Structure 1
Amino acid sequence: MQPRNSRLNSSALRGAVDLAAVKAAGEAAQKAEQARAERARQAAAGIAPDPSAYPLVIDVTEDTFETEVVQRSTEVPVVIDFWAEWCEPCKQLSPMLERLAEEYAGRIVLAKIDVEANQLLTQQFGIQGVPAVMAVVAGQLVPLFQGAESEPNVRKVLDQLILVAEQRFGVVGGAGAPAEAPGEAGPYLPEDPALAAAHEALDRGDLGGAIQAYQNVLVDEPGNTEAKLGLAQAELLRRVEGLDLATVRAAAAADPKDVGAQLKAADLDLVGGHVEDAFGRLVATVGRTFGEDRDTVRLRLLELFEVIGSEDPRVTAARGALARVLF
């Protein structure tokens, strides 16, 4: 979810629905606030920051991921560049990302992961091809883009990632960061208090409260896209509470025509970051069902599209697949 004045054009931030991340968001924001306070104390005391303590470009392995990425993400957005030596597009994108990390001067950190040397991480992140770029903010995974991108597009994504990190999670970047990141991210606009209350309820794991709060916003503003997104995420998280992944997947595999089992499996797929699997499962289920069952699955698929966002290429592909089975 993003503040309405800082929406990303890519899938960034919309695909982040990890349960553990939602529960940890408040704690991560608190850590970030403590880090900011310490930096402010040092600045007031005239203590210059140690540049070596805040490297802007780091090589990350499976052994160092927790410390260098997850823990660091409570203080600064960590952009992850998945690359490989044999990847030709990586040879253009990676140097650009390194240069931008230096230019942004502490507002982001770039973590470079060699997919060949870190295959477990590659599998855990579901990397299908390189280059692939993601971010971690306050412990929450944020898909950004895959494949080569132009520098203007990369700047736009980074600018808005920084704004969302600040406004949504309170993560503002490392010592020595400029007051404004390079680029044109747009002015900050105060967030709607009702929407902020809904976000806070979601952050602290009060899913029932979050759902009611988002519904209240939509009563007054039926077209509020951020409230629609928040409601879809909160409802998804509530649906998967208490579900056992192995049990659900076994039931879905045992009976492909069991609509309830397929819906639960798709929800768990999406929460686990397996977006294409979730969409593919429901498209296939639409194709083999009829009447009310088909309509139920179709509507759930549309709800999951809302969670990820209409701009995401995975949604575009799934919409096309859905149209083909329907018509």
Structure 2
Amino acid sequence: MTQQPFSRPGAIDLSGLKRPAPPAGGAAPGAPGGPGAAAAAGSGAVGSYTVEVSEANFQATLESSMTAPVVLVIHSPSRSPESTEYARQVAGVVEAYEGRFLAALVDVDASPQIAQALQVQQIPLMMVLLDGRPATQPLPGVLTSEELSTLFNQLGQQLTAQGITGRHQPGAAGAPAAAEDSDEPAVDPRYAPAQDALERGDVDGAVAEYQKLVDANPADAEAAAGLAMAKVLHRTQGVDLNAAREAAAAQRDDVDAQTLVADLDLLGGHVDDAFDRLIELVRRTSDADRTRAREHLLGLFAAVGNDDERVLRARRNLASALF
């Protein structure tokens, strides 16, 4: 698999989390009428791509992140009613992506062991899971709907750029979304050829496939992001990171040396570092070198997503460096 522009510190420690056995003669926790039913109704979340998480279905929810990202929102109706309202808000935004993400809402009053397993220190807390692991740093506090949309747009673009186009299947609210009866996650057919190329390690083929999509529809933001990221992968194939950094340190105004390290920073998830490096290069250079540095930076903006907050901030800094 190609390098991910996400922070993945490791799998969640579930050693202290045990699934409770259904009580004799009663419904399973979280089932209609069972001990977890009231808690499951607590956030009031309703939607095809929203699941109320309990200790009984937590593992299944984690496993569903093997198909597509799971947006885990930790809330507490008793300690912070606002956090429960926020959980509903996140679920509402996620629904608009039609399976690109699954909103997984955790009421820690009803499921304290989940909070312990996730080492939750603050409520509300949101984290995005992919392949059973955190795909972003945990995001404490409350984001606006606009900020949530920007975040999910960016994640969707980055995932598509890496050929990860699976989607959750719609399910009943309060139940984990089931994957299709297939060993492979659902794939948006538009991006399947590019994904197949990336899985084969054929970066040139992925560039060509994304280019076809962009040529056919220049407004396809995910295809444009995919093309930009595939080009980054193409430029960094076989590059020795340490040697590249040494060359950039020795040649501060060499456009090729600096842009290569910026590419590597982007792939490593150091987005701001990549942007800052090229903005400073624009500031120091002139004429053709300045144009090359600026155009390369614009390509990295496309790879990350033009609505991303870091891109918006970098654009302002670039304008300052130019004028």
TM-score, normalised on structure 1? 0.57
- Tell me how far apart the structure 2 counterparts of residues 174 and 68 of structure 1 sit (CA, whole Å): 14
Name the residue aligned to 2:220: 224
- Tell me how far apart the structure 1 counterparts of residues 255 and 153 of structure 2 sit (CA, whole Å): 42
- Tell me how far apart the structure 2 counterparts of residues 71 and 247 of structure 1 sit (CA, whole Å): 39
- Give the conservation status (yes or no) of the 8 Å contact 1:77–1:173: no
Q: How does 1:1-327 map to 2 (within 5 A)?
A: 19-21=2-4, 51=30, 56=53, 73-74=65-66, 77-79=69-71, 94-96=83-85, 107-109=102-104, 133-138=126-131, 141=135, 148-150=142-144, 168-172=165-169, 177=175, 193=189, 195-327=191-323
Letter in 1 for 2:201: G
Q: How much has 1:136 moved relative to structure 2?
A: 2.6
Decide which moves more: 210-219 or 259-268.
210-219
What SS class does the counterpart of residue 285 from structure 2 fall into? coil
- Tell me how far apart the structure 2 counterparts of residues 314 and 100 of structure 1 sit (CA, whole Å): 23
- Give the conservation status (yes or no) of the 8 Å contact 1:262–1:281: yes
1:259-279 residue CA offsets vs partner (Å, 9 max, x unmatched): 222111111111111111111
- Give the conservation status (yes or no) of the 8 Å contact 2:197–2:203: yes
- Give the conservation status (yes or no) of the 8 Å contact 1:76–1:172: no
Q: Which runs of 5+ in 1 are unaligned?
A: 1-17, 23-47, 59-66, 84-89, 118-129, 181-189
Name the residue aligned to 1:26: none
What SS class does the counterpart of residue 71 from structure 2 fall into? strand
Closer, same or farther in 2 for the Cα pair 1:170/1:274, shift >3 Å?
same
Residue-pair matches, total: 247
Q: Which runs of 5+ in 2 are unaligned?
A: 6-26, 32-50, 95-100, 106-113, 179-186
- Tell me how far apart the structure 2 counterparts of residues 169 and 98 of structure 1 sit (CA, whole Å): 23
What SS class does the counterpart of residue 109 from structure 1 fall into? strand
Q: How much has 1:254 moved relative to structure 2?
A: 2.9
- Give the conservation status (yes or no) of the 8 Å contact 1:74–1:171: no
Closer, same or farther in 2 for the Cα pair 1:290/1:132, shift >3 Å?
farther
Letter in 2 for 1:177: A
Letter in 2 for 1:197: P
- Tell me how far apart the structure 1 counterparts of residues 154 and 302 of structure 2 sit (CA, whole Å): 20
What SS class does the counterpart of residue 213 from structure 2 fall into? helix
Closer, same or farther in 2 for the Cα pair 1:159/1:283, shift >3 Å?
closer
What SS class does the counterpart of residue 65 from structure 2 fall into? helix
- Tell me how far apart the structure 2 counterparts of residues 262 and 178 of structure 1 sit (CA, whole Å): 46
- Give the conservation status (yes or no) of the 8 Å contact 2:213–2:223: yes
Closer, same or farther in 2 for the Cα pair 1:225/1:295, shift >3 Å?
same
1:68-115 residue CA offsets vs partner (Å, 9 max, x unmatched): 9976621563325699xxxxxx967754455678999x9433586558
Q: Which has the higher contact order (CA 8 A, sep 6+)?
A: 1
Closer, same or farther in 2 for the Cα pair 1:132/1:229, shift >3 Å?
farther
- Give the conservation status (yes or no) of the 8 Å contact 2:66–2:132: yes
1:204-252 residue CA offsets vs partner (Å, 9 max, x unmatched): 4321111111222333334433322211111111212222222222322
Greater Cα radius of gyration, structure 1 or 2: 2
Q: How much has 1:317 moved relative to structure 2?
A: 0.8
- Give the conservation status (yes or no) of the 8 Å contact 2:255–2:289: yes
What SS class does the counterpart of residue 226 from structure 2 fall into? helix
Q: How much has 1:319 moved relative to structure 2?
A: 0.6
- Tell me how far apart the structure 1 counterparts of residues 140 and 294 of structure 2 sit (CA, whole Å): 27
- Tell me how far apart the structure 1 counterparts of residues 256 and 155 of structure 2 sit (CA, whole Å): 36
Identity of matched residues, %: 36
Closer, same or farther in 2 for the Cα pair 1:204/1:51, shift >3 Å?
farther
Name the residue aligned to 1:87: none
Closer, same or farther in 2 for the Cα pair 1:250/1:158, shift >3 Å?
closer
Letter in 1 for 2:166: F
- Give the conservation status (yes or no) of the 8 Å contact 1:198–1:209: yes
